[in-house]
């Protein structure tokens, strides 16, 4: 499915992050990977997002089954784990040779002949982004990818990359707990680049009350709406996304069909102006601590 034409009017309402999808769920009513993908497609969630770094592209490929034509399939390259196994032991490789080898590996593992959207997973301190994007553009011309994306990059990176080849989407964190991306939104809109907002639940930190002002504000609104704290946090991202000039696709991640449906329902929650003000004021208090 095409990505290059995403606008504020045509962008998907929401995507599905598959970082934690594993083989463990097969046969489980709530966590079977194929059932999860089918449930997402049936509910209108068509953007499926994974990455080479996640180590689960083969699982995603098997989960796709007959749904390939119904989804916008996205993956990322460039971040590689170190030998220690620690979460802080990773490095970035974004040179042209890595670009060419990484896409072939992802296509093989996913069992597809092309990706709809292919991201550089993280900016490189060693390879100029112009070289990386030029190599990605070769993949586009070869029909291996439909559109180019960037993740975890700076405003300067975005401008320089877009000058080499149109960038369709930039994936950055956006949540009540992390709002720095908002300074980039005018530029993304000007360039016609969609924002794919990952971790809209603050890496899970917003799904439970932590005894702080933001947790309490989320809990209070959730109780009144008959929702969960996570749904209110996600509803805030949807609320803000509807009020910016460019295209925004929130990307909550889950391996549970139950949580998938809860996330979809969150997009329909209408927050009042006073709700939004209370949440943002509580987030600022938390940040001031």
* 84-96 per-position pLDDT tens digit: 889 888 999 999 9
Give pLDDT tens digits for 116-174.
999 999 999 999 999 999 999 999 999 999 999 999 999 999 999 999 999 999 999 99
Given a cut of 90, is residue 209 above it in pLDDT? no
pLDDT digits over 214-237, tens only?
A: 999 999 999 999 999 999 999 999
Tens-place pLDDT, residues 20-37: 999 999 999 999 999 999
pLDDT of 244 higher than 90: yes
Residue 289, pLDDT above cutoff 60: no
Kindly report the number of other CB atoms within 10 A of residue 85's CB atom.
Answer: 7
pLDDT band at residue 200, thresholds of 50, 70 and 90?
very high
- Expressed in angstroms, the distance from the first to the final Cα of the chain is 44
Extents of the domains making up the chain: 15-204+247-255
Model confidence band, residue 286 (pLDDT cutoffs 50, 70, 90): confident
> How confident is the model over 37-61, as pLDDT tens digits?
999 999 999 999 999 999 999 999 9
Query: Quick one: pLDDT at residue 143?
Result: 98
| Distance, CA of 53 to CA of 56 (rounded, Å) | 8
Is position 54 annotated as part of the catalytic site? yes
Q: What is the pLDDT of residue 252?
A: 98
Instruction: Provide the pLDDT for residue 8.
Output: 87
Assigned token pair, 103:
């896409």
Say if residue 284's pLDDT is above 70: yes
Q: How far apart are CA 204 and CA 164, in angstroms?
A: 36
Three-class SS state of 267: coil
Highest CATH level, class, for 15-204+247-255 = alpha beta
pLDDT for residue 232: 98
Q: What is the rounded distance in angstroms from the CA atom of residue 6 to the CA atom of residue 171?
A: 14
Q: How far apart are CA 221 and CA 94, in angstroms?
A: 44
pLDDT, mean of residues 65-92: 94
Rg (CA), the chain: 19
Find the length of the chain. Answer: 289
pLDDT value at 282 more than 70: yes
- Helix and strand numbers (H, E) in the chain are 10, 10
Percent of the chain residues past pLDDT 70, beyond the cut: 97
Residues of the chain by 3-state class (helix, strand, coil), percent to 5: 45, 15, 40
β-pair type (169-173, 90-92): unpaired
For residue 121, what are its two tokens? 């997973």
Residue 208: pLDDT band (50, 70, 90) is confident
| Residue 108 CA: distances (Å) to CA of 127, 232, 245 | 26, 39, 37
Residue 1: pLDDT over 60: no
Summary mean pLDDT of the chain: 95
In the chain, pLDDT over 90 holds for what percent of residues?
91
Structure tokens given for 146: 């439909």
Q: For residue 4, what pLDDT is reported?
A: 63
Q: Please check whether residue 132 is in contact with residue 149, taking contact to mean a CB–CB distance below 8 angstroms.
A: no
Sign of CA pseudo-dihedral 251, 252, 255, 258: negative
User: What pLDDT was estimated at residue 87?
Assistant: 86
Q: What angle do CA 71, 73, 79 make, to 5 degrees?
A: 160
**200: which 2 tokens?**
């809209």
Q: DSSP letter for 108, please.
A: H
- How much is the average pLDDT of 203-209? 87
pTM of model > 0.85:
yes
CA distance 108 to 100: 13
């Amino acid at each position: 499915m095409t990505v290059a034409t995403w606008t504020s009017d045509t962008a998907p309402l929401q995507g599905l992050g598959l970082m934690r999808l594993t083989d463990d769920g097969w046969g489980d009513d709530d966590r079977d990977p194929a059932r999860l993908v089918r449930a997402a497609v049936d509910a209108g969630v068509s953007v499926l997002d994974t990455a080479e770094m996640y180590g689960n592209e083969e699982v995603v490929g098997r989960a796709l089954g007959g749904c390939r034509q119904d989804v916008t399939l996205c993956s990322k390259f460039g971040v590689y784990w170190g030998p220690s196994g620690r979460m802080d032991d990773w490095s970035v490789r974004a040179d042209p040779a890595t670009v060419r080898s990484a896409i072939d590996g992802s296509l093989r593992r996913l069992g597809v002949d092309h990706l709809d959207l292919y991201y550089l997973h993280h900016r490189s301190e060693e390879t100029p982004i112009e070289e990386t994007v030029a190599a990605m553009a070769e993949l586009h011309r070869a029909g291996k990818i439909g559109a180019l994306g960037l993740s975890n990059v700076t405003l300067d990176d975005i401008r320089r990359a877009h000058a080499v080849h149109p960038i369709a989407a930039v994936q950055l964190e956006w949540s009540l707990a992390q709002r720095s991306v908002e300074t980039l939104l005018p530029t993304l809109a000007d360039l016609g680049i969609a924002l794919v907002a990952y971790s809209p639940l603050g890496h899970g930190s917003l799904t439970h009350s932590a005894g702080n002002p933001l947790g309490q504000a989320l809990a209070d609104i959730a109780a009144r709406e008959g929702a969960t704290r996570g749904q209110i946090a996600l509803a805030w991202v949807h609320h803000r996304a509807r009020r910016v000039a460019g295209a925004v696709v929130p990307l909550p991640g889950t391996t549970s069909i139950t949580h998938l449906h809860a996330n979809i329902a969150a997009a329909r929650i209408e927050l009042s102006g006073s709700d939004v003000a209370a949440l943002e004021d509580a987030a600022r208090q938390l940040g001031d601590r």
